[in-house]
Amino acid sequence: MIEAVGLTKRYGAKTAVYNLSFQVRPGTVTGFLGPNGSGKSTTMRMILGLDAPTTGQVTIGGYPYRKLPNAPRQVGALLDAKAVHGGRHARNHLLCLAQLSGIPARRVDEVLGVVGLQDVAKKRSKGFSLGMGQRLGIAAALLGDPQVLLFDEPVNGLDPEGILWVRNLMKALAAEGRTVFVSSHLMSEMALTAEHLIVIGRGQLLADMSVRDFISANSADFARVRTPDSEPQHREKLTAALTEAGGQVMPEQDGALRVTGLPLPRISDLAHGADVRLWELSPHQASLEEAYMRMTQGAVDYRSTIDQRAGLQEQLPPGAVPQGQMPVAGQGQPGWYAPPPPQQGGQPFAMPQPQMPQPPQDPAGTPNPYAGAPQPPAAPVPAAAPAPAPDLTKGATDNEDAAR
Ligand SMILES: Nc1ncnc2c1ncn2[C@@H]1O[C@H](COP(=O)(O)OP(=O)(O)OP(=O)(O)O)[C@@H](O)[C@H]1O
């Protein structure tokens, strides 16, 4: 098991991770999600002893990585697939790693077979495609047959067959009782691979819960209702009946209606009562991607100004708030991505809290640099000229970082 308690990392004045506490348990794939720059890689580096926490601690099986007996046999990681000596053959690269860790050479051939690189084992890795490089990185992570595995964006650059392979590999490793911690920006993939999620935004914990709970906590189910295309007046009649009964009705682009706040049998009864025929009445649940976007929209550092100004962004569903704004309980259209009311202390999303040791309130005795970040702004910001996300870290701005 991986356990972080009050983990904080500052780079000078920049706070990359703040007071992060979570556990990654064996036997399931745990997804690690967060917008760009939210601190995922920094957290993974601290887990692996590559960066020292400013305060707090993170352990694997009860030990900090650097004190873990025979660490390469216990923990495997893919952090940066490009971090390979390009002039070496794939097999030689793995052999070097194996020798450093006292792993027998036959294991190198085993893992080359597992990742499907046996035919290119004698090729120099500088000629490898992005996907082949990922496979080589995964082979290196598997070398010590470790119980704990960390993968930072493992499907980066993989084709659909490769993505499916990684998904099955992660699940198989977890099914063997291993601890599998994997970051990804591919939500659809994460929904298929992970059972549990840890979501961070601006270095802080936003959610620690199952994928199922995460989706239901950050989205609302809805019904799609469709009347015959040739009878637009019936669509209007049904809209009126549903609205009068307390439902929220929004038109979809294809002419159907999105209805929230009413159960399906009630919608059917209301349609029958209004003498309106239905061509479709179907239940829908938001995707992990929608739920994730909903939760993290207030914690995104890097956002294009061009597509916002040009109105190119996908239209937000009713009830969802424009980017940069957090929802306000009781406002907007309830039932449509309607969030639970903000919690005391500024936590905007209700989430089941696992029993974890409580980290020190503020280990360094300095104020929380993110305090107030999730609070809703006082006034709505027009979509055409959104306010930039405030740089709450008071350090080098993210734009400066990005420009480097
Ligand atoms: N060595 C460093 N020195 C200064 N700032 C750093 C350093 N490493 C990371 N940061 C900053 O810390 C923040 C978190 O970075 P990190 O790479 O951990 O985010 P991430 O969630 O992995 O991002 P991405 O999804 O884009 O990979 C960023 O603002 C980054 O600029």
Report the top-level CATH class of 1-218+286-404.
Answer: alpha beta
The pLDDT of residue 345 is 31
Ligand 1 pocket member 398 (CB < 6 A): yes
Q: Tens of pLDDT along 350-359?
A: 333 333 334 4
238 pLDDT above the threshold of 70: yes
- More confidently predicted of 124 and 176: 176
CA distance 41 to 256: 42
Bridge partners of 283, per DSSP, are 223
The pLDDT of residue 382 is 30
Q: Among 42-51, 168-177, 204-213, which is the least confidently predicted range?
A: 204-213
Q: Say what percent of the chain tops pLDDT 70.
A: 72
Q: Among 149-158, 186-195, 301-310, which is the least confidently predicted range?
A: 301-310
**Helices and strands (DSSP H and E) totals, the chain:** 13, 13
CA 52 / ligand 1 centre spacing (Å): 14
CA 392 / ligand 1 centre spacing (Å): 15
CA-302 nearest atom, ligand 1: 26
Ligand 1 pocket member 36 (CB < 6 A): yes
What three-state secondary structure class fits 301? coil
pLDDT band at 4 (very low <50, low <70, confident <90, very high): very high
**Taking the model in full, what pTM does it have?**
0.69
Q: Tens of pLDDT along 129-151?
A: 888 888 999 999 999 999 999 99
As a CATH number, domain 222-284 is: 3.30.70.100
CA 292 / ligand 1 centre spacing (Å): 20
Average pLDDT value for residue range 19-26: 97
CA distance 195 to 28: 6
Count of CB atoms situated within 10 Å of the CB of 390: 10
- More confidently predicted of 76 and 340: 76
Q: Among 25-29, 52-56, 104-108, which is the least confidently predicted range?
A: 104-108
Q: Tens of pLDDT along 366-402?
A: 445 444 433 333 333 233 333 333 333 333 333 334 3
Q: Highest mean pLDDT: which of 279-283, 290-294, 332-336?
A: 279-283
The pLDDT of residue 247 is 94
Q: Which residue, judged by its Cα, is nearest atom 3 of ligand 1?
A: 11
CA 206 / ligand 1 centre spacing (Å): 17
DSSP sequence for 19-70: EEEEEE-TTSEEEEE--TTSSHHHHHHHHTTSS--SEEEEEETTB-GGGSTT
The pLDDT of residue 240 is 96
Count of CB atoms situated within 10 Å of the CB of 348: 21
Average pLDDT value for residue range 214-227: 84
The pLDDT of residue 67 is 94
CA 13 / ligand 1 centre spacing (Å): 13
CB 55 within 8 A of CB 360: yes
pLDDT band at 292 (very low <50, low <70, confident <90, very high): confident
CA distance 175 to 110: 20
125 pLDDT above the threshold of 90: no
180 pLDDT above the threshold of 90: yes
CA 369 / ligand 1 centre spacing (Å): 16
- More confidently predicted of 310 and 30: 30
Q: Tens of pLDDT along 295-331?
A: 777 666 666 555 443 333 333 344 433 333 333 222 2
Q: Tens of pLDDT along 46-92?
A: 999 999 999 999 999 999 999 998 898 999 999 876 666 666 788 98
Supply the mean pLDDT for the chain.
Answer: 77
Q: Which residue, judged by its Cα, is nearest atom 26 of ligand 1?
A: 36
CA-203 nearest atom, ligand 1: 14
pLDDT band at 231 (very low <50, low <70, confident <90, very high): confident
CA-44 nearest atom, ligand 1: 18
Average pLDDT value for residue range 240-267: 94
- More confidently predicted of 212 and 24: 24
Reading the block at residue 397, the tokens are 């701005």
CA distance 15 to 392: 9
Domain ranges for the chain: 1-218+286-404, 222-284
341 pLDDT above the threshold of 50: no
- More confidently predicted of 359 and 153: 153
Ligand 1 pocket member 41 (CB < 6 A): yes
- More confidently predicted of 204 and 231: 204
What three-state secondary structure class fits 265? helix
**Half-sphere exposure in the Cβ direction for 254 (13 Å, CA):** 9
